[in-house]
A and B are shown apart, each in its own frame.
Chain A
Amino acid sequence: MKEFNYVITDPEGIHARPAGLFVKAAAAFPCNVTIGKDGKDVDAKRILGVMSLGVKQGMEVTIKCDGDQEDEAAAELEKFLKENL
């Protein structure tokens, strides 16, 4: 399993639009992907769950990738977060 942390810098946090893009990016990989905040993990391939975390600017999220192509998934999602959030 691959795991990394990221602190959200976008002033609006993970709002609807980027949540959608993030979910799309996660869904492109076969492995399981979760995104978590304060110990609560949700499936990163489900937009309502990701939005329900209510992640705001300055908060740290933890991404876990487990299964096929977990290395690629982790690298790609980290890149996505840095560029968009």
Chain B
Amino acid sequence: MELTGKSVFGGIAIGNLSLYRKNDNVVKRVKVDDPEHEINRFEEAKETAKQQLGQLYDKAMKEVGEANAAVFEVHQMMLDDLDYIESVQNMIRSQGINAEFAVATTGDNFSEMFAAMDDDYMRARAADVKDISNRVVSVLQGGEDGGFDSDEPVIIIADDLAPSETVQLDKSKVLSFVTRGGSTNSHTAILARTMNIPALIGVDFDDEINGKFAIVDGFAGKLIVEPDADVLAVYQKKQNEEREKQRLLLELKGKENVTLDGTKINLYANIGGVGDVADVLKNDAGGIGLFRSEFLYLESNDYPTEEDQFKAYRTVAENMAGKKVIIRTLDIGADKQVDYFQMEKEENPALGYRAIRICLDRVEVFKTQLRAIYRASYYGKISIMYPMIISVDEVHRIKEIVAEVKKELDDQGVPYGEVETGIMVETPAAVLMSEELAKEVDFFSIGTNDLTQYTLACDRQNAKLDGINDPHHPAVLRAIEMTIKNGHKGGAWVGICGELGADTTLTETFLRMGVDELSVSPSRILAVRDKIRSIDLSK
């Protein structure tokens, strides 16, 4: 059975469901002979309730911090509120009824007042007024507190949890919260975020699920009751990955990419759009080693304008705040086709009209992109790299075009920054010419996916060739090594931005080859950093 709700905190929890038993006191309306006696009982119960709140405040201070504890101070003040007290007293005196009923009714009335307000935050306070009233009623009835029974950690299911209830919970026994009501501002939601555990609100569950085994998927907002073995296996794997990620985040954020013997390298991220920058920063990448600019062309029905491109590049440069952003110029053709480029069908697209070959042929398209990149370079630290290079002559032609673009910008008085120039090394020709090419550019970035396909003469789109298309083939590794050595000889730094850069079984090999930078998908940054920090090159 699968139920959906709104997630207030991500994560995966797997365990038994346990229904939270409310101290839902049944309050009867009873006529009394001595209203003053009831008023005294109310006063005493109110004082006891305030003392309890004081203790909860202290407990919450220790467990969840001052910001979350403050609510109990406010609760104490609510109990001292004259409107509240007068309402209870009036009801007891005018109707000659018991204190319990007067308190419960007063609580309901104030709670309804807050529930009717047009403000999410204030609506959530309805639960607070109910909570203090329940507390006083509980004291009056000499009743026990609500709770749940379990010796092992469980997924708590409840209507909603009041702040006093969440604080009283034994946190070591809670895997997740799932509530029917509640809001993203509710205490349950706040507590879940503080405790770093998944939580769902607005889940319409049946009490019958109590005690059953279940999964909470805080990413997709799902509660899966009695999952089958396959689903469970998938989630167990996901949970382990999540734990590993959390561990890496905690341990490795802010740490250097340095080996045990002190060799440092740069660890950058690959992105395919502006939206990926948040992940880059969250995972603590030192820069962007590959910004694929294709998305601008693929998501559009016509050539993207200079202004559209400029905005995207500038946003990324500014968000990276001075960290390096390497933009790769248009790399379409082969497996990436765009209708409005109106390209002819080819027999061998991977060996055909693609990437820099298009740019050097349709110079106006290329110039539009270069202008956008240079303009954006004024707002951050931008580098450019060119894909599919096979010769020094191509680099010379690119430089001529760049010179024209810069002159136009100068003539128009448009500012731009210092831009490093690099090339992708992804063809055997570029590897063989790497010593000469290195003298022309500031850096190389090795694209291992295409380098593998071209070195092994093996179509990467052909599933039948999966066994042969092996990026660990010694020929590929030798090509990488040669590129690094020749790059350094010619004065260029050398990085790897293909899939292989994130392959931690090769990290040590690359470091021994002398690689200067690895650029990997944002989610792999910390795993690779973890690997780098475990390697000792002196051994």
CB-defined contacts of B118 to chain A, threshold 8 Å = 54
> Could you mark each residue 34-49 of chain A with 1 if its beta carbon is under 8 Å from any beta carbon of chain B, else 0?
0000000001011111
| Cβ of B233 under 8 Å from chain A | no
CB-defined contacts of A16 to chain B, threshold 8 Å = 70-71, 74, 125, 128
Which stretch from B80-88, B273-281, B377-385, B442-450 is at the chain A interface? Answer: B80-88
Interface residues of A in 29-85 (CB under 8 A from B): 43, 45-49, 51-52, 54, 56
Question: With A and B bound together, what is the CA distance between A67 and B74 in angstroms?
Answer: 27
CB-defined contacts of A20 to chain B, threshold 8 Å = 73-74, 77
CB-defined contacts of A45 to chain B, threshold 8 Å = 82
Question: With A and B bound together, what is the CA distance between A56 and B129 in angstroms?
Answer: 20
CB-defined contacts of B129 to chain A, threshold 8 Å = 48
CB-defined contacts of A15 to chain B, threshold 8 Å = 121-122
Say whether B119 contacts A56, CB under 8 Å: yes
B86 nearest CB neighbor, chain A only: A46
Question: With A and B bound together, what is the CA distance between A16 and B114 in angstroms?
Answer: 12
Given known contacts A12-B121, A54-B119, A56-B119, A48 and B83 CB-to-CB distance under 8 angstroms: yes
- For the complex formed, measure the closest distance between the CB of A14 and the CB atoms of chain B, giving whole angstroms: 10
Say whether B70 contacts A48, CB under 8 Å: no
Given known contacts A16-B74, A20-B74, A23-B77, A46 and B121 CB-to-CB distance under 8 angstroms: no
By size class, the interface of chain B is: 20 to 34
Question: With A and B bound together, what is the CA distance between A23 and B73 in angstroms?
Answer: 12
Question: With A and B bound together, what is the CA distance between A51 and B84 in angstroms?
Answer: 13
Question: With A and B bound together, what is the CA distance between A45 and B119 in angstroms?
Answer: 22
- For the complex formed, measure the closest distance between the CB of A50 and the CB atoms of chain B, giving whole angstroms: 9
Say whether B77 contacts A47, CB under 8 Å: yes
CB-defined contacts of B74 to chain A, threshold 8 Å = 16-17, 19-20, 47
Say whether B82 contacts A54, CB under 8 Å: no
| Cβ of B537 under 8 Å from chain A | no
Say whether B73 contacts A51, CB under 8 Å: no
By size class, the interface of chain A is: 10 to 19
Across the interface, B110 reaches (CB within 8 A) one of A13, A17, A19, A48, namely A48
CB-defined contacts of B117 to chain A, threshold 8 Å = 52, 54
Question: With A and B bound together, what is the CA distance between A14 and B177 in angstroms?
Answer: 29
Question: With A and B bound together, what is the CA distance between A45 and B80 in angstroms?
Answer: 10
Interface residues of A in 6-27 (CB under 8 A from B): 12-13, 15-17, 19-20, 23-24
Question: With A and B bound together, what is the CA distance between A52 and B123 in angstroms?
Answer: 10
CB-defined contacts of B465 to chain A, threshold 8 Å = none
Question: With A and B bound together, what is the CA distance between A65 and B128 in angstroms?
Answer: 29
Question: With A and B bound together, what is the CA distance between A43 and B85 in angstroms?
Answer: 14
Interface of B is mostly: helix
Question: With A and B bound together, what is the CA distance between A48 and B70 in angstroms?
Answer: 16
Say whether B83 contacts A51, CB under 8 Å: no
| Cβ of B78 under 8 Å from chain A | yes
| Cβ of B113 under 8 Å from chain A | yes
- For the complex formed, measure the closest distance between the CB of B93 and the CB atoms of chain A, giving whole angstroms: 20
Say whether A48 contacts B121, CB under 8 Å: no
A24 nearest CB neighbor, chain B only: B77
- For the complex formed, measure the closest distance between the CB of A67 and the CB atoms of chain B, giving whole angstroms: 16
CB-defined contacts of B121 to chain A, threshold 8 Å = 12-13, 15
> Could you mark each residue 55-84 of chain B with 1 if its beta carbon is under 8 Å from any beta carbon of chain A, else 0?
000000000000000110110011011111
Question: With A and B bound together, what is the CA distance between A20 and B121 in angstroms?
Answer: 16
Question: With A and B bound together, what is the CA distance between A46 and B79 in angstroms?
Answer: 10
Say whether A43 contacts B82, CB under 8 Å: yes
B73 nearest CB neighbor, chain A only: A20
Q: Which residue, of A15, A24, A43, has the highest number of chain B Cβ atoms within 10 A?
A: A15
Question: With A and B bound together, what is the CA distance between A12 and B121 in angstroms?
Answer: 9
Question: With A and B bound together, what is the CA distance between A54 and B122 in angstroms?
Answer: 7
Given known contacts A16-B128, A54-B117, A49 and B83 CB-to-CB distance under 8 angstroms: yes
Say whether B70 contacts A46, CB under 8 Å: no
CB-defined contacts of B80 to chain A, threshold 8 Å = 47
CB-defined contacts of B125 to chain A, threshold 8 Å = 16, 51
Question: With A and B bound together, what is the CA distance between A24 and B80 in angstroms?
Answer: 11
Say whether A52 contacts B114, CB under 8 Å: yes
Say whether A17 contacts B81, CB under 8 Å: no
- For the complex formed, measure the closest distance between the CB of B522 and the CB atoms of chain A, giving whole angstroms: 31
Given known contacts A16-B128, A43-B82, A51 and B77 CB-to-CB distance under 8 angstroms: no
Say whether B114 contacts A17, CB under 8 Å: no
CB-defined contacts of B113 to chain A, threshold 8 Å = 52
Say whether B78 contacts A47, CB under 8 Å: yes
Question: With A and B bound together, what is the CA distance between A13 and B122 in angstroms?
Answer: 10
CB-defined contacts of A47 to chain B, threshold 8 Å = 74, 77-78, 80-81
- For the complex formed, measure the closest distance between the CB of B291 and the CB atoms of chain A, giving whole angstroms: 34
- For the complex formed, measure the closest distance between the CB of B163 and the CB atoms of chain A, giving whole angstroms: 11
Question: With A and B bound together, what is the CA distance between A39 and B537 in angstroms?
Answer: 76
15 further A-B contacts with Cβ under 8 Å, apart from A13-B121, A47-B74, A54-B117, are: A16-B74, A43-B82, A45-B82, A46-B82, A47-B78, A47-B80, A47-B81, A48-B83, A48-B84, A49-B81, A51-B122, A51-B125, A52-B113, A52-B117, A54-B122
Q: Report which B residues bind A (CB closer than 8 A).
A: 70-71, 73-74, 77-78, 80-84, 110, 113-114, 117-119, 121-122, 125, 128-129
Q: List 30 A-B contacts (CB under 8 A).
A: A12-B121, A15-B121, A15-B122, A16-B74, A16-B125, A16-B128, A17-B70, A17-B74, A19-B74, A20-B73, A20-B77, A23-B77, A24-B77, A46-B81, A46-B82, A46-B83, A47-B77, A47-B81, A48-B83, A48-B110, A49-B81, A49-B83, A51-B114, A51-B125, A52-B113, A52-B117, A54-B117, A54-B118, A54-B119, A54-B122
User: Lowest 4 CB-CB distances: which A-B pairs, in order?
Assistant: A16-B74, A20-B77, A48-B81, A20-B74
